[in-house]
């Protein structure tokens, strides 16, 4: 069986995706190290950030959707955060079983402390990288993500 041939753009995107996988792994490891002394991991920090960024309290399923993450994994992390007093659950007036996740003062403090560590770290990481280049990468990744989010099939044309 012959292997399908990629277009030049398909080949470039394949290489970018491989680099993004590597980047993601390295970024998560670096994030874990950065916030370890706060009792956080990159995953916990990410969930706290999603709760913080939401306009109103949300159930776990919505947080998972916003993060593009598995609901069961988010639930496990939220349960751990709740045990540590970083989030709490409140009744959801729209759904009895899907409680709302709410940041506690302790959770807000932990998130703020993580962000205070993140600022100098991210500034060092971007030293020497042109802002316009970062904006271009962001636009491309955002456009590709939108295509993936709108697709239910890996290959709609084939």
Can you give the residue ranges of every domain in the chain?
A: 36-147
Short-list 62, 63, 29, CA closest to 48: 63
Cα separation, 73 vs 60, whole angstroms: 10
Query: What proportion of the chain, given as a percentage, has pLDDT over 90?
Result: 85
Cβ neighbors of 122 (< 8 A, separation 6 or more) are: none
**Fold of the domain spanning 36-147:** Arc Repressor Mutant, subunit A (1.10.10)
Whether the pLDDT of residue 155 is over 80: the answer is no
Cα separation, 49 vs 43, whole angstroms: 10
**What is the pTM for the complete model shown?**
0.85
Whether the pLDDT of residue 99 is over 70: the answer is yes
For residue 43, the model assigns a pLDDT of 96
Cα separation, 62 vs 81, whole angstroms: 17
Whether the pLDDT of residue 95 is over 80: the answer is yes
Q: What is the mean pLDDT of residues 4-21?
A: 95
Q: What is the mean pLDDT of residues 81-107?
A: 93
Q: Which of 10-14, 79-83, 92-96, 135-139 has the lowest mean pLDDT?
A: 92-96
Whether the pLDDT of residue 71 is over 60: the answer is yes
Which pLDDT band, with edges at 50, 70 and 90, does 56 fall under? very high
For residue 157, the model assigns a pLDDT of 47
Strands 100-103 and 87-90: what pairing? Answer: antiparallel
Cα separation, 90 vs 98, whole angstroms: 9
């Amino acid at each position: 069986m012959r292997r399908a041939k990629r277009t030049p753009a398909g080949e470039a995107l394949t290489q970018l995706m491989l680099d993004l996988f590597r980047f993601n792994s390295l970024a998560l490891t670096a994030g874990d190290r950065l916030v370890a002394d706060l009792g956080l991991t990159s995953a916990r920090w990410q969930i706290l950030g999603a709760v913080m960024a939401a306009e109103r309290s949300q159930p776990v399923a919505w947080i998972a959707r916003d993060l593009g993450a598995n609901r069961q994994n988010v639930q496990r992390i939220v349960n751990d955060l709740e045990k540590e007093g970083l989030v709490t659950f409140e009744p959801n007036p729209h759904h009895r079983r899907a409680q709302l996740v709410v940041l506690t003062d302790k959770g807000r403090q932990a998130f703020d402390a993580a962000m205070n560590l993140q600022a100098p770290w991210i500034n060092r990481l971007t030293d020497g990288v042109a802002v316009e280049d970062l904006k271009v990468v962001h636009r491309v990744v955002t456009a590709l993500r939108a295509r993936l989010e709108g697709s239910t099939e890996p290959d709609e044309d084939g």
